[in-house]
Amino acid sequence: MGNKTVVERDTKSAAGERTLPPLALVGEAPKRFRGTQMAEKRAAREAYENSGHLLADELGRTLDG
């Protein structure tokens, strides 16, 4: 849980490719979290960065350490 690094890269082979389930199967959590992100964006104003990632800190920055 203490890992704050996100590594984005291709898999070593096609066998390592995985398809994630649709967000609908995960439940309503992503929608609720999106609401939290929007509130943080309003509070941070110009300091907020739109990283495009679902999981980001309170300033919208990618969680990459």
Summarize pLDDT for 41-57 with one digit per residue, the tens. 999 999 998 887 777 88
Read off the pLDDT band of 28 (50, 70, 90): confident
Q: Which residues pair with 62 in a beta bridge?
A: 56
- pTM above the 0.85 mark? no
At residue 10, the 3 state secondary structure works out as coil
Rg over CA atoms, the chain: 15
How high is the pLDDT of residue 42?
93
Summarize pLDDT for 8-20 with one digit per residue, the tens. 788 888 888 887 7
